[in-house]
Structure 1
Amino acid sequence: MAAYSNILKLSFLASLLSGLWPVEETRRHDTNLAVFPPTCNRIECPVFESVHVGNGYEIRRYNSTMWASTSPIQDISLVEATRTGFLQLFDYIQGKNFYEEKIDMTAPVITEVSPSDGPFCESSFVVSFYVPKKNQANPAPAKGLQIQKWKPTYVAVRQFGGFVSDYEVGEEAAALQASIADTVWSDAIEKNRGKDRTSIYIVAQYNSPFEFDNRVNEIWMPFNLEE
């Protein structure tokens, strides 16, 4: 487990520094079935309950969780913003925090997207790392990062394979929006936008860039159900 975690950390860093993000021509678009990300069999992921599986989407409920998050990053590219944010988070888990504590790698790395108004304007991105369970009670603070506590949260999820690209992310987010249109979930998402979260959607990436098979990425649209 520790050896795999170290390899995953180093492969993320090597790819980020080199700027080489492979492009995969074949992608999995059959999203009717929810797939448990294989990465979560090897490293820790946040626990969720699958509430509903629909045509092209899944509804999950996540318990309260802690995340280490960057400040908003302004960029025209989600891929570039994620690279910038992950470098900060990599330093954080390598011990550059106020506790000088090394932290286990987890998945997914998520990027919250708040799109700009214009087609060529910079958007705002926040990149976050799920804090491992053993660190949840007292996450290490760090300069330039914020510790976010999520309340129990529902998310509408769409999965897709391959390597994330800026163009594809927009397509997948639109496809998720279309698949939940005219459902109670869509109404709940619209009601909650601009309240607890201002992001339009979240991109979750589970794999190291050096893993070519069984890649799982997700679009999340978070919401809370009124009690």
Structure 2
Amino acid sequence: MTVSVATRVIPGQGPACESNFTVSFYIPAEHSANPPAPSDSNVFFSTIPAHRAYVKSFGGFASQDDWIQAGAELGRALDASHPYDSSYHYTAGYDSPFTIFNRHNEVWFVAN
């Protein structure tokens, strides 16, 4: 894989609320005019708009704790001069599940 599988995460409010996850797969330009129709009503087409983002990269097979740690590190690295939308963020993985070494993962905070 050379493009990411991006997941938009809207954190749940409070200790018992679950976060909302929307997983996005890239459709190459040559297939975007006439993509196959989804067979499940929970699958839909959308576009992630062009944006600027602050990014924290890390390697390995990412666990939930790894994503949380990378997001926390990114948040600590940013100050008031780097505003971002804190209501959601993206996680991105770039590797096939069969890739064992040199994996690439990212957390994105969308800049305001």
Q: Deviations over 1:92-142 (max 9, x none)?
A: xxxxxxxxxxxxxxxx11111111122343211111101112112333331
1:121 equivalent in structure 2: 17
Q: How many pairs align?
A: 110
Tell me the percent identity: 34
State whether residues 139 and 147 of structure 1, in contact with CA within 8 Å, keep that contact through their aligned partners in structure 2: no
Q: Which has the higher contact order (CA 8 A, sep 6+)?
A: 2
Unaligned runs of 5+ in 1: 1-38, 46-107
- Counterpart Cα distance in 2 of 1:138 and 1:155: 29
Q: Tell me which protein shows more helix as a share of its residues.
A: 1
CA RMSD in angstroms comes to 1.9
Specify the SS of the correspondent of 2:75: helix
- Counterpart Cα distance in 2 of 1:166 and 1:131: 26
1:206 equivalent in structure 2: 94
1:150 equivalent in structure 2: 48
Q: Deviations over 1:134-154 (max 9, x none)?
A: 112333331321111233221
Query: Compared with structure 1, are the counterparts of its residues 223 and 141 closer, same or farther at alpha carbon in structure 2 (3 Å cutoff)?
Result: farther
Specify the SS of the correspondent of 1:175: helix
Q: TM-score, normalised by structure 1?
A: 0.44
1:167 equivalent in structure 2: 65
Unaligned runs of 5+ in 2: none
Q: TM-score, normalised by structure 2?
A: 0.83
